Chains A and B, each alone.
Chain A
């Protein structure tokens, strides 16, 4: 509302709009006077109708209306209009004043910190606070994550790591629940960054007649600011894996400028990428490719250097914890015939210490070659026949092997390998793959991300050469990155020799994503070369060529070129990334402030990946000093196989949470997560004043929103908030200047009209 509107309203209508909002309108009509005036009005109309003279019906009607309106206003005044308000009884009601004590109050929007601005109104000597103290029994609180009593606002430190308006209001209203409470005054920038939703609390406050008066501090919109609003990386990756980080950069006042996004690991710069910011106010999305080369709990720092004129630099960086695991992931590769693709795939990943590709290659009827098995028993009976046997692998590659090779149970088991176990399935092109392998009517047709060609006899051989190129999504995806930058990667793709396909596939399923396409003269349209989709808990990939080994052997490929090796390493690492073990563990806040509670959740399954509710689950929490303590996890009951516990890291540092699950003395599995306890810069993210939220809190509880410029009215407004010990107060409205001005105006107009018509 413009600043002049409220004083003008008050001049005309005697009271401020807030009182009209809070009050109840009443009238006490004096009936005899009313009847007299009504008769008078009727007489006026009749007399005007009968009046003789030079005036016609039009002027007579006009004069009658003007006179009747003036009389009606007089009648309205005689009816004693009034506002009835519930008014707080002075010094009998309590008022809670909650002042934000979080770090965001240190932000200096216009040369003065938000804390200093708050002190002007709520400091011990501030006139407003004294005015409030004169009328109410004040209870001061400071709040960040929760609220606590405060003897004096001089003791505010503004070092809270998080802000939870919901917890603060809940805590203060509970503490004051046994006294007549006139309301709560919330002095804050509204930068709520806690998980609790304030929307749940508001109806309860309203029901308890606790109006909340919100005082918003800070700028609603910074003139210039860059903020890393979001950084998404997997919580856990295999050592040496190329990780794609999705970064969102918000900005104000820097549209069109270029900034450098840098990623560091323990001070070492891993990657620097230029980001062009979009139009002012819009966010930029960037993808950064990193390699997690060192095992263990790592913290990647994403940073954009502070830009000139930025009020806060703390929101230009984010620290992201990531668990780099150094284990060997097992992938089963079933190949239905001797193929060079198998040989060269094995060569490509042979040096990768974190991948074990166990091969089962059918060479003749019922004769298999087993490669890279752990022992003589592994796969001795051929392709796994039980879930337990199959589900111990994290990835499954199906080469050129016809659907008829499997039993119905095995086909269903493969589908469940993806959907229930959460494994990664990769199907390769070949003369016995996809529709040509008879997979159309099998459960795998649903699992695969591609749609088989309709109207083509899959028994008819197909062959086409194609030049492979990445899709726009593939250009930025980590798996199909062939060079350090996207530009160089695109050049590399263009230079690769063509491959062939024996499986015409042109469409992907809804929800599937294509990364590579192939184009060639023998193809009716663009061939889907590499696509994937999520299926249940896992993912399914289709790689529809049968001779990717040409990217290793072809005469145009330099010997030192690592395209083939890198592509297969990236592909297989991606295949098994995020594939769970029998036990998974997650923490609610991988980075948290010391003293903030963290929830540990573990999901426990058996060797067949069925959820287990009767396991003994223990988290061994190792603190930064190396001391370890055991923390039992309890079944949450709400979800099968889910166990939980809370712990609070007391000090700064890295906490390792190793969860072990056992049943009947037999270990089911173990998994590790990490929690970094550190000073967080959470308060500097989304630090603009959130006026809509504060207005909503005030509106839904019957309070009012103020800025530092309008807060002087607070002391008076609390009086009419309706909370605490109240009495009914009637405020007459008959003497509103607006009424008198209206009567004078009507009479004046009538007189002027008469004059102009010669009737006066």
Chain B
């Protein structure tokens, strides 16, 4: 299947997302404390199936109590509905799946998504848990943090986790950008509010950066989406006012990151 055809599929998948799971999207409101068990899984149950892939969201301590749960769980559910239609052979859970960074079970899920990391304030156990996770082979995607101050905070936090790590801009020919879709154009994905005004930046984050951290063997272990908000594009793909090009790009990036994390 060509990339162009797949892109068409992204659009149709997005439409299907919204037709298929209105009741799932409707859940997810009414959270209590940061790590309340019910809040981590709104239905309070563990999944009874055993899919290969969970879209695991990092539940971490932040300056605000709900940092980690921005766009949650709607973005997660909509994304996975789309991903399951695009990656037809991926055995993926359709549900959201948050896990705390200090939970040993985190290591059972080698793909991890963290949002709003500009307001991250990791505790020692969380630092240790995330460090162990990444060193053992886990793959972290961070997203939706903007500007110089938030970058500085994230950088400070991640350097606690991975002291001495080097953060580099990912070259456009990096395999992550062609793991499934051959992505040539890179956008600054705006939040849903800005998208309707035509503005794409927040704070002083005018230029989107797609960066990475590699381990000592040259393996990409952290993918950093700075000054861009893929999560909102997943969450609000059904809103007619939200530009399709951003949603398409965000879904393509998600698919590539998932495929890459399961092969590299």
Contact = CB atoms under 8 A, between A and B. Distances in A.
Interface in A307-350: 336-340, 342-344, 346-347, 350
B184 interface: no
Interface in A363-392: 363-367, 369, 371
Interface in B68-108: 86-91, 104-108
A461 B6 CA distance: 30
A338 B262 contact: yes
B264 to A, nearest CB: 6
A502 B259 CA distance: 22
Interface in B101-145: 104-108, 110, 132, 135-138
B173 interface: no
A339 B52 contact: yes
A85 B121 CA distance: 113
B210 interface: no
Given A364-B180, A369-B180, A555-B104, A500 B259 contact: no
B52 A340 contact: yes
A283 B86 CA distance: 63
Interface string A472-502: 0000000000000000000000000000101
Contacts of A304: none
B9 to A, nearest CB: 9
Contacts of A350: 217
A164 interface: no
Interface residues of A, number: 37
B263 interface: yes
Interface in A537-551: 546, 549-550
A521 to B, nearest CB: 15
A343 B259 CA distance: 10
Interface in B209-255: 217, 219
B262 A340 contact: yes
A363 B257 CA distance: 13
B50 interface: yes
Contact of B136 (A338, A346, A369, A559): A559
B135 A559 contact: yes
Contacts of B217: 350-351
A549 B261 CA distance: 13
A557 interface: yes
B263 A337 contact: no
A369 B259 contact: yes
A135 interface: no
A363 B137 contact: no
B2 to A, nearest CB: 10
A125 B110 CA distance: 89
A338 B53 contact: yes
Contacts of A367: 1, 6, 180
B89 A363 contact: yes
B223 to A, nearest CB: 15
Contacts of A347: 137, 219
Contacts of B180: 363-364, 367, 369
Contacts, number: 93
Most buried by A among B1, B53, B89, B258: B89
Contacts of A463: 50
A617 to B, nearest CB: 43
Contact of B89 (A336, A500, A550, A552): A336
Contacts of A346: 263-264
A351 B240 CA distance: 50
Given A338-B53, A552-B137, A365 B262 contact: no
B136 A343 contact: no
A431 interface: yes
Contacts of B107: 553-555
B136 A363 contact: no
Contacts of A555: 104-107, 132
Most buried by B among A369, A431, A461, A552: A369
Interface in A561-586: none
Nearest to B178: A369
A303 interface: no
B88 A365 contact: yes
B179 interface: yes
Nearest to A465: B50
Nearest to B90: A338
Interface in A499-548: 500, 502, 546
B91 A337 contact: yes
Contact of A366 (B1, B87, B135, B262): B1
A546 B50 CA distance: 11
Contacts of B91: 337, 431
A346 B107 CA distance: 18
Contacts of B219: 347
A343 B264 contact: yes
A103 interface: no
A359 interface: yes
B88 A364 contact: yes
16 contacts: A337-B89, A337-B90, A337-B91, A338-B53, A338-B262, A343-B137, A346-B264, A364-B1, A364-B6, A364-B89, A365-B88, A371-B264, A546-B52, A550-B108, A553-B108, A553-B138
Q: Which 3 A-B pairs have the closest CB atoms?
A: A555-B104, A337-B89, A338-B262
Interface of B: 1, 6, 49-50, 52-53, 86-91, 104-108, 110, 132, 135-138, 179-180, 217, 219, 258-259, 261-264
Given A369-B179, A553-B138, 9 more contacts: A338-B258, A343-B263, A344-B137, A347-B219, A359-B263, A364-B88, A367-B180, A431-B91, A500-B50
